[in-house]
Amino acid sequence: MQGSESAPADNTISIVQRGNLKNIEKTLHKQWRLGQNIVLCWSPTDNGLLLLMVPHYFLGNFTATAADAGEEGAKKSSARESYVRRLISGRRRKTRDEFFEISNKLGVSTNFIKLPEPIADQPAVNAAIEELVRRYGLSYVDSRAVVLFDIAQFSLYTPFEQASQLNSLSYSMNSAYNKLLSRGVEVNFARTTTGDGYYVWNRDLSPAASEDLLHFLLLVIADNAMAREASKGNTVPLIRTAFHIGSHYELYQAEGVNPTVFSYIVGDVTIELARMVDLAQPSQVFIGDFSVELPTPGRDDPADTVSLDTHSFLERCNADIERVLGVKISGQEVKALRCGTSRVEGDERPRRFLLTDKHGLTRNAFNLELHIETDSGSWQLGLGGDKLPRPARPGDDAVDAEALKSKAPSLKSVSEE
């Protein structure tokens, strides 16, 4: 809805619209009720804002299946879950017709916030309202790259050493960010602690965001490795790392009487990362078995995409690696940097690993090896092929079956592609 005021030339938010945003946040906070309710979507009107708010448990109840519902009930539940995911994905601003259609579909009443001035239909204003809605709501992202950095044997160190190692890892991330920024690549990364490490993701959801995060990972690992070589004692961590692309939910937890300003993520991608890291050795880097849609190189239309598997994605990242060459890590200029999955001895096929977790669930992953050349030498990072489980041989299926039966965590090289 276009307000009467003209848009500022620099697209900043005017004093009038800042007043609107203040009123919106004040009302949202009141209706949020310490996390009892969440916002689903919004729509502007001539004199205010329409909101759709539901209790925090509503979406779970809406998608739940009764124990005796049978196959038809399961299909209905799955359809409702897909609908909810679409609803809380992407932009939350809806047209008036869309807004009331959602209200009728969910069977919930609407909320109205009366404002002293109409909402200006300006990108900065819309973005600010979207951010408020996300803070007081729940979001779903269908495909995002996420990294898990985990400090090996963290619990064996003293509290002072643990604090020093977390600080060192944090510095490596900040340093990688600055180095990429100096090359024109901004990784707007967010992180949440796991206690002995961090989940890290790129807030940006642009087509280049996944590649940027992988380059970020490479620089973090390189900085950490060089810092370890120069350090004394247990101040710099020995890390194990996993990279994967998948779906997740994003939320802002209640902290006291306000939602936090930092988001948390949970979903398929974080579960996969945690299971990979559980079976990773110190210094090892796992990359998940995924498929991602990215724009076709050389095409102007963003909708013209190509589906890439893990190996094609790595090839694409290596082809764009020039943009990070020339940065300095621990005073050493990076001349060459390349990553790739471990190969089968004697040929060029990648080795694929079967990871069986404590629940007996399995997933595929690949071991990532990194090669970096600086002006003072070369480095091999990650875990080399000689330290990995041997390829599967006839009769190994019985071992896998026993691991599944006992639900004992295991990692095994199961096949070549």
Output the domain CATH number for residue 296. 3.30.70.1230
Distance separating alpha carbons of residues 88 and 6, to the nearest angstrom? 31
**Side-chain half-sphere exposure of 171, counting CA atoms within 13 A:** 17
Count CB-CB contacts under 10 A for residue 404.
Answer: 15
Residues linked to residue 93 through DSSP beta bridges, in sequence order? 42
Same domain for 177 and 46: no
Distance separating alpha carbons of residues 271 and 155, to the nearest angstrom? 21
| 2 found inside a domain | no
Distance separating alpha carbons of residues 358 and 278, to the nearest angstrom? 10
The answer to whether 190 touches 200, Cβ cutoff 8 Å, is yes
Distance separating alpha carbons of residues 375 and 115, to the nearest angstrom? 61
Distance separating alpha carbons of residues 412 and 283, to the nearest angstrom? 18
| 256 found inside a domain | yes
pLDDT value of position 3:
43
| 8 found inside a domain | no
Same domain for 206 and 327: yes
Same domain for 404 and 357: yes
Q: Which amino acid is at 272?
A: E
Domain boundary pick from 78, 112, 136: 136
Four-residue CA torsion sign, 172, 269, 142, 370: positive
Positions in the chain short of pLDDT 70: 1-11, 66-68, 254-261, 298-303, 344-348, 390-417
pLDDT value of position 347:
60
Four-residue CA torsion sign, 335, 339, 342, 344: negative
pLDDT value of position 406:
43
Distance separating alpha carbons of residues 403 and 357, to the nearest angstrom? 9
Collapse the DSSP code of 20 into the 3-class scheme (helix H, G, I; strand E, B; otherwise coil) and give the result. helix
Q: At what angle do helices 209-230 and 310-319 cross, to 10 degrees?
A: 70
Could you give the C-alpha distances from 49 to 108, 129, 266, 332, 347, in angstroms and in order? Answer: 17, 10, 30, 55, 62
Collapse the DSSP code of 283 into the 3-class scheme (helix H, G, I; strand E, B; otherwise coil) and give the result. coil
| 261 found inside a domain | yes
Q: Is the pTM of this model over 0.85?
A: yes
Distance separating alpha carbons of residues 57 and 64, to the nearest angstrom? 11
Distance separating alpha carbons of residues 289 and 28, to the nearest angstrom? 41
Distance separating alpha carbons of residues 144 and 293, to the nearest angstrom? 11
Dihedral (C-alpha) 304, 310, 312, 314: value to the nearest 10 degrees?
Answer: 110
pLDDT value of position 66:
58
Same domain for 155 and 70: no
Rg (CA), the chain: 24
Query: How is residue 385 annotated by DSSP?
Result: G
Domains of the chain: total? 2
Same domain for 250 and 174: yes
Same domain for 222 and 127: no
pLDDT value of position 295:
79
| 35 found inside a domain | yes
Q: Which residue has the tokens 């809805």?
A: 1
Q: At what angle do helices 123-135 and 15-32 cross, to 10 degrees?
A: 20
Query: How is residue 132 annotated by DSSP?
Result: H
pLDDT value of position 172:
96
Same domain for 40 and 184: no
Domain boundary pick from 91, 109, 136: 136
pLDDT value of position 73:
83
Alpha carbon 386 to its chain centroid, in Å, reads 31
Same domain for 109 and 153: no
| 6 found inside a domain | no
E-only strand ranges, 78-231: 111-114, 138-151, 189-193, 197-202
Distance separating alpha carbons of residues 54 and 31, to the nearest angstrom? 10
pLDDT value of position 35:
85
Distance separating alpha carbons of residues 100 and 367, to the nearest angstrom? 49
Same domain for 310 and 273: yes
Same domain for 265 and 217: yes
Could you give the C-alpha distances from 189 to 198, 241, 274, 368, 370, in angstroms and in order? Answer: 12, 16, 19, 22, 22
| 9 found inside a domain | no
Same domain for 315 and 253: yes
Reading the block at residue 271, the tokens are 């579960």
Reading the block at residue 137, the tokens are 């709501």
Domain boundary pick from 136, 169, 187: 136
Enumerate residues 6+ apart whose C-beta is below 8 A from 97: none
Distance separating alpha carbons of residues 16 and 1, to the nearest angstrom? 15
pLDDT value of position 205:
87
The answer to whether 318 touches 369, Cβ cutoff 8 Å, is no
| 10 found inside a domain | no
Domain of 39, in residue numbers: 15-136
Same domain for 176 and 204: yes
Collapse the DSSP code of 399 into the 3-class scheme (helix H, G, I; strand E, B; otherwise coil) and give the result. helix
pLDDT value of position 98:
97
